[in-house]
């Protein structure tokens, strides 16, 4: 006869380290992840979710070097797919599609000018994008600038954020006059006040499809799969939409 233990007993029966789920997340999820984690915690009392936000490329390198993450939520599908192919991760799961927006807090500048005119505008001294070598949103920003014929003209003005959250900080603080940021960060309450923004059309850059994976260390965390699955539930999807994401 099969015996089923209550969830709390199952949690208590797990090794101490298993009661903590370590999540590495792309920084466009910075303001959304606490809400997603709260939903997971409601389903799994006693399990603490610890998350670190940063550049997807940095997490990719850290996981290859053995960093102790259980779940990796990337801002693209390439980094997770490479980890799966290397045998370092499993269960590739697309969870969202990101958007980018042109944002400025300078009252004299207008995102409606478009990327090409802003590149030629003498009032624009610094233009922020995430580092394309590390951040998928940086690659999308570069593609949008190239699509507008503004990449070369913008070279002397570019300021690279290590990740998209740092890029948004550059614009919000005034350290950059204009920038290309993720819509999810722009929509968050912390970044909403001040400035003007305009969504960049999706045909100006490759789709920003975002995927997560279960990281294989000595063994997969027993609840890592459930965490990923939660992003695809009706509630998880609604939370992502409310944070400014589209569905994958």
Residue 56 is labelled as binding a ligand? yes
pLDDT along the chain (248 residues), means of 10: 34 52 97 93 92 96 96 98 96 97 95 94 97 97 98 96 96 96 84 79 98 85 94 96 96
The ranges assigned to domains in the chain are: 20-97+208-243, 100-199
DSSP 17-84: GGGEEEEEEEGGGTTTHHHHHHHHHHHSTTPEEEEEEE-HHHHHHHHHTT---SEEE-SSSHHHHHHH
Domains 20-97+208-243 and 100-199 share a fold: yes
How far is residue 157's CA from residue 148's CA, in Å, rounded to a whole number? 16
Indicate the length of the chain as a whole number: 248
Q: Which residues of 123-146 are buried (b: 16+ CB within 10 A; e: fewer)?
A: ebebbbbbbbebbbbbbbbbbbbe
The H or E element that residue 179 is part of is strand 178-182
Q: What would the two tokens of residue 22 be?
A: 């370590």
pTM of the predicted model over 0.75: yes
CATH number of 100-199: 3.40.190.10
CATH number of 20-97+208-243: 3.40.190.10
What is the predicted pLDDT for the residue at 14? 42
Distance, C-alpha 199 to centroid of its chain: 17
Q: What would the two tokens of residue 15 be?
A: 């090794």
What is the predicted pLDDT for the residue at 203? 97
What is the predicted pLDDT for the residue at 15? 45
Give φ, ψ of 149 to 5 degrees.
Answer: 70, 25
């Amino acid at each position: 006869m099969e015996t089923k233990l209550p969830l709390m007993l199952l949690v208590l029966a797990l090794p101490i380290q298993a009661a903590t789920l370590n999540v590495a997340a792309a920084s466009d999820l910075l303001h959304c992840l606490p809400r997603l984690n709260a939903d997971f915690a409601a389903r799994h009392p006693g399990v603490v979710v610890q998350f670190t936000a940063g550049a997807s490329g940095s997490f990719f390198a850290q996981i290859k070097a053995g960093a102790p993450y259980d779940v990796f939520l990337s801002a693209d599908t390439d980094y997770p797919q490479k980890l799966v192919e290397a045998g370092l991760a499993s269960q590739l799961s697309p969870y969202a599609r990101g958007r980018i927006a042109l944002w400025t807090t300078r009252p004299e500048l207008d995102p409606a000018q478009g990327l090409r005119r802003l590149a030629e505008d003498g009032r624009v001294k610094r233009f922020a994008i995430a580092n394309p070598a590390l951040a998928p949103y940086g690659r999308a920003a570069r593609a949008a600038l190239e699509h507008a014929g503004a990449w070369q003209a913008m070279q002397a003005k570019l300021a690279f954020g290590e990740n998209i959250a740092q890029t948004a900080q550059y614009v919000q603080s005034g350290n950059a006059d204009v920038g290309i940021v993720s819509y999810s960060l722009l929509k968050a309450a912390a970044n909403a006040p001040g400035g003007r923004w305009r969504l960049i059309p999706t045909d100006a850059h490759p789709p920003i499809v975002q995927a997560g994976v279960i990281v294989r260390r000595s063994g997969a965390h027993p609840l890592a799969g459930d965490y990923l699955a939660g992003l695809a539930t009706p509630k998880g999807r609604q939370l992502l939409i409310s944070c400014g994401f589209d569905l994958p």
